Structure 1
Amino acid sequence: MKKTRIALSLSLGGALLCATGAYAQSSVQVMGLADVFVGSMKNAGDAGSRSAVDSGGMTTSWFGFKGTEDLGGGLKANFALTSFIKVDTGSQGRFANDTFFSRDANVGLSGSFGSVSLGRGLAPNFVPSVVANPLGDSFTFSPLIVHMNVPLFNGTGWGSTTPSDTGWSNEIVYSTPNMGGLTANMHYQFGEVAGSNGKKNVGVNALYFNGPITLTGFYERDQISNPAVPNTYLGTTKTDWMLGGAYDFAVVKAFASYGQAKADNTSNKAKTTQLGVSVPTGAAGKVLASFAQTKMTDTDISRKTFTVGYDYFLSKRTDVYVMAMNDRITHQTNGNSVGLGIRHRF
């Protein structure tokens, strides 16, 4: 009986050690960001202003899970399941009928070769557009992001220049290892549309960070909608590209970008130029300003948007901001928006 107890104790102890070792090599994080603001919003062409408490002034609010497991030999398994949320109402998604995990829903492997992921993830256009402008991923106040990704439904007919969302479903992404500050990502989205003769989305981007220098760019060729379930054929082939960068002079960080978007069924092109600055004011605050102009080559229509604001960090995870934006489209009424908000990361 004594020997049996000893053997059982050793067996349980070994199991506990194995479990402890496995746990030490794996991690799952609950994480996200909550961003809400109060303001008065009026885009170009709107009939009037709208006073509201709204979500996502500087960053679209989101929450979810990310994890990794060390498989040994430098190989890791990774997953991400993250969802957008509207903090002002508690509703899921960025808009009506947005898929639940429209921000991330993927699993993959990473190692010395770089990384490969399968599922829903970022489109090639997103990260380059974020690092090339001082207001980052603000779908409310960043002129570049607004021009690229936020269509207007107010009768102006103004659409987004990005062909197929900032995230792609059913995609394979290969990311290179960091090569002296340079990384690249190759994206391939399967159309999964019956009878579409292999319609798909493909694209690539590159990012280079070295001291004060940031350089980036992307190209994508899109035939499939996102994030619709099921995906549908766009009816034409759309292309989109951008080059951008930034230089940090310490007293001011300057940003610039230029890009074009067009569809095969028209000769009209959208050409977007953006300039911006970020000026530090002490250890915790920054003045942010950006201007973007998009010109349509086959018409006299253009859109000009300018934003200036202040962002102040109360801690590493929490900041408060105030933004003012002027938005103009040829032959349309002008729009002026202001917002005061708070953003918290967890």
Structure 2
Amino acid sequence: MRMSQCLPLSFATLAALALPATAQSQVTISGYLDTGVFRDYDKTRKLGTIQRSHLAVAGTEDLGGGLKANFRLSTRFELDTGQSEGAGSKPFWHDESTVGLQGGWGQLRLGRALSAMWSQEWKFDAFSNFNRIASTAWHMAHYYTPTDRASNNGAAEYGRMTNGIYYDSPTWDGFSFNASASTERTQTPGRDGRGGSVALNYDQGPVAAMVGYERNGSGDKDLFLGGLYRLGAATLMMAYDHSRAGSSPDTSRMVSVGGSYALGVTTLRASYGRQRLNDGVTHHMASLGAEYNLSKRTMLYASLGHQRYEHNPSRTAFGVGVAHAF
């Protein structure tokens, strides 16, 4: 919605008179609400978030000459309790807090957001690295390489970079480029440094692919490769992730395959992942899911995941949920 519609007329009029004639601004509020009933891998029964819930405020201002200013503030929360996600450990604007400029040359943002690699890799997981029950990427990818080992009050953060600079290129013949880097050193005793991340992407016609590389401030490194092929109502995808710890010889190699198939308002999903650690331990995970769209914004879904980890008993999680986007 336009924020100006919520303002008193006199204030909106004065604000419009104070701006240059060429400037046009718009503020929107959006979000995603998700909750479900599920049995987790630890065999406990829960009501709560299976995917993620967030509330975002974003805005753009046309500065003229093809240049725009933009910002985005997004917080994540647990719908069942109303608490912020990771309350007490994660920042309130955990999801994103950025401001920047964009033009024909691309987009430049400053603040906290997904790193370049993480902003793209979810496309190559059948469950978008978004489902705690069924996503193989959630459980197996980037195993030894958090984006920042200390940004959540001393705890690891997988995905988001604080004190960051982010660049997103335009698309040329299907190719695009993303880069991000932290301006401050990670405060990890004996392992402090600055993190950086890059992703090269291709998406044109039925084919999409990416190669991403990330090194956090603690010296952990991650190489990610992904590809997908669209064939009518079906999408097939695969991914490879090689995660290496900076302070030990620990490594993890994950390979996953997956796909989705649309049948009218129903979408079926499936995935399989295999992870091999440097000591020879091998893990397996298989998942199934179904989504039923009640409308363009609301869906019901069911998820099933089964893990067979070496030296551990097999375990299964399953649940049903409802999600609404606005």
Q: TM-score, normalised by structure 2?
A: 0.86
Name the aligned partner's letter for residue 104 of structure 1. Answer: E
Please show how residues 1-346 of structure 1 align to structure 2 within 5 Å.
Answer: 18=17, 25-42=24-41, 46=42, 49-55=43-49, 57=50, 59-94=51-86, 96-140=88-132, 141-148=134-141, 161-164=145-148, 165-192=158-185, 199-223=193-217, 234=218, 237-282=219-264, 284-297=265-278, 299-346=279-326
Equivalent residue for 1:230? none
Structure 1 spans left out of the alignment, 5+ residues = 1-13, 150-158, 224-233
Structure 2 spans left out of the alignment, 5+ residues = 1-12, 149-157
Is the 2:100–2:110 Cα contact (8 Å) retained in structure 1?
yes
How far apart are the structure 2 equivalents of 1:293 and 1:144?
10
Is the 1:28–1:66 Cα contact (8 Å) retained in structure 2?
yes
How far apart are the structure 1 equivalents of 2:123 and 2:177?
14
How far apart are the structure 2 equivalents of 1:111 and 1:196?
41
User: How far did 1:31 drift?
Assistant: 1.1
- Residues 197 and 249 of structure 1: is their aligned pair in 2 closer, same or farther, counting only changes over 3 Å? closer
How far apart are the structure 2 equivalents of 1:91 and 1:197?
32
Name the aligned partner's letter for residue 170 of structure 2. Answer: P
Equivalent residue for 1:229? none
The higher-RCO structure (CA 8 Å, 6+ apart) is 1
Name the aligned partner's letter for residue 203 of structure 2. Answer: F
User: How far did 1:95 drift?
Assistant: 5.9
How far apart are the structure 2 equivalents of 1:197 and 1:40?
38
User: How far did 1:334 drift?
Assistant: 1.5
How far apart are the structure 2 equivalents of 1:20 and 1:198?
45
- Residues 308 and 71 of structure 1: is their aligned pair in 2 closer, same or farther, counting only changes over 3 Å? same
Tell me the secondary structure at the aligned position of residue 200 of structure 1. coil
User: How far did 1:108 drift?
Assistant: 0.3
Tell me the secondary structure at the aligned position of residue 214 of structure 1. strand
How far apart are the structure 1 equivalents of 2:117 and 2:16?
45
Is the 1:162–1:240 Cα contact (8 Å) retained in structure 2?
no
How far apart are the structure 2 equivalents of 1:61 and 1:132?
21
How far apart are the structure 1 equivalents of 2:141 and 2:146?
5
How far apart are the structure 2 equivalents of 1:208 and 1:163?
23
- Identical pairs, percent: 26
Q: RMSD over aligned Cα, in angstroms?
A: 2.4
Residue-by-residue CA offset, 1:27-82 (whole Å, 9 max, x unaligned): 1111111010101111xxx4xx1111111x2x311102100100000000000111
Is the 1:174–1:185 Cα contact (8 Å) retained in structure 2?
yes
Is the 1:37–1:342 Cα contact (8 Å) retained in structure 2?
yes
- Residues 269 and 344 of structure 1: is their aligned pair in 2 closer, same or farther, counting only changes over 3 Å? same
- Residues 23 and 315 of structure 1: is their aligned pair in 2 closer, same or farther, counting only changes over 3 Å? farther
Structure 1 window deviating more from structure 2 (305-314 vs 123-132): it is: 123-132
Equivalent residue for 2:4? none
Name the aligned partner's letter for residue 199 of structure 1. Answer: G
Tell me the secondary structure at the aligned position of residue 90 of structure 1. coil
Residue-by-residue CA offset, 1:79-117 (whole Å, 9 max, x unaligned): 011101000111002465111101111100000110110
Aligned length: 303
